[in-house]
Amino acid sequence: MLDQRKIIHIDADCFYAAIEMRDDPSLAQVPLAIGGSSQNRGVLSTANYLARSFGVRSAMPTAQAKRLCPSLVVIPGNMEKYRLASRQMHAIFRQYTDIIEPLSLDEAYLDVTDCEACHGSATRIAEQIRQQVREQIGITVSAGVATNKFIAKVASDWQKPDGLTIITPDQQFEFVSQLPVKCISGIGKVSQERLAALGVFICSDLQKIDFSILQKNFGSMAFRLSQYALGIDKRPVQTTRERKSVSVEHTFSEDLCSLESCLARLPELLASLDKRMAGRGLEAQVSKYYLKLKFNDFKQTTIEQAIQSTFSKQVFSALLTRAYQRQSRPVRLIGVGYRLSTPAPRQLDMGFD
């Protein structure tokens, strides 16, 4: 039964930074971040916990992070090294189960419902995985154990870093009831404000609100909100994940101060997009063109257009023009990409015509 599943969510602690601190222990004594240079408008991928104590966080512009923490050490990182560590982590996971859903290099769900190791104890399996990762890879991971993915993921973040949180079926409802609604995936700042206007701040508030009010304010999202507020999540751990988009983006070292200068950079971005698409066999799934602009005030806009009867990259020029006109101010970042649809089993050979 779904309510008897045993789900573990594993999340490495400040993964990229942890690998760097493992390889150079002196970095463990300083506020450390992985990311691009502040001189080239870089952004941070992650930061160690010492840096986070200054307010530094992932996706923050490096220049802003340096203002918060002048002693911050920023290094570019090594993706091949991180991928190797990720593969080593997954090799450990596969000692216990083949039902693994990767969320990123350093994060995954494991379904250990039918696992015979550790006499079937999900708690002991999680403990052993954490110990093996520490001993074999030299980093720490946090884990959450629960009957479903939603609760397991929240639990893994409960005692970070290097934590293990187990939510038994008997504890599940009480645990969920106290959670701030921001813990629900998909609830960002705007949704939090809309819920606050309805007097909803934690999941117990959400449990009490009439479903018709939720539906009026959140549409199709209402059912998921009401289910998660009760601790119900029937999603299985999926061993394969469908790619929903392919995109590239670039942050420019100097603002692009006109539409013409933005259009002039489009060909190189589209060439990078072609390289990312090459060999993936995704052409038949492309359903929309996608473009993003981030302006010099850090506000951003996105624009999409469905692909019609013919495929043409010239559409990106038109999308860029329309997106630029929404603000008509200097641009610091341009992103281009394609939205992908789920492939139809008998139409995998279709092209763009």
When pLDDT is averaged across residues 7-14 and rounded to a whole number, the result is 97
pLDDT band of 343, cuts 50, 70, 90: low
Same domain, 95 and 34: no
Q: Are residues 98 and 9 in the same domain?
A: yes
Averaged pLDDT, 53-78: 92
Do 127 and 141 lie in one domain? The reply is yes
Cα 64 from Cα 103, distance rounded (Å):
28
State whether 308 and 207 are in the same domain: no
**CATH code, 297:** 3.30.1490.100
- Residues 36 and 63 grouped into a single domain: yes
Range of the domain at 30: 23-77
Collapsed DSSP state (helix, strand, coil) of residue 164: strand
* pLDDT the model gives residue 312: 75
297 is in an annotated binding site: no
Inside any domain, residue 99: yes
Residues 60 and 183 in one domain: no
- Examine residue 346 and state whether it is found in any structural domain, yes or no: no
Measured in residues, the chain has a length of: 353
181 and 158 in a common domain: no
pLDDT at position 42: 80
Q: Is 11 annotated as a binding residue?
A: yes
pLDDT at 309: 63
* Whether residue 112 is found in the same domain as residue 257: no
pTM for the whole structure: 0.74
Average pLDDT over residues 64-71: 95
User: What is the average per-residue pLDDT within 27-54?
Assistant: 89
Looking up residue 98, the CATH number of its domain turns out to be 3.30.70.270
Mean pLDDT of the chain: 89
Q: How many other CB atoms sit within 10 Å of the CB of residue 72? A: 23
- The per-residue pLDDT for 244 is 83
Say yes or no: 108 and 95 in one domain: yes
Q: Identify which of 352, 343, 353, 7 has the alpha carbon closest to the alpha carbon of residue 172.
A: 7
In 3D, which of 331, 181, 207 has the Cα closest to residue 261? 331
Catalytic residues: 107
What is the DSSP code string of 82-126? HHHHHHHHHHHHTTT-S-EEEEETTEEEEE-TT--GGGG-HHHHH
The verdict on residue 291 lying in a domain is yes
Identify the pLDDT of residue 43: 84
Strands (E) located in 167-233: none
Count of domains forming the chain: 4
Q: Is the pLDDT of residue 241 over 90?
A: no
Single out the residue in 133, 168, 203 at which a domain terminates.
168
Q: Are residues 262 and 194 in the same domain?
A: no
The reply to whether 349 falls in a domain is no
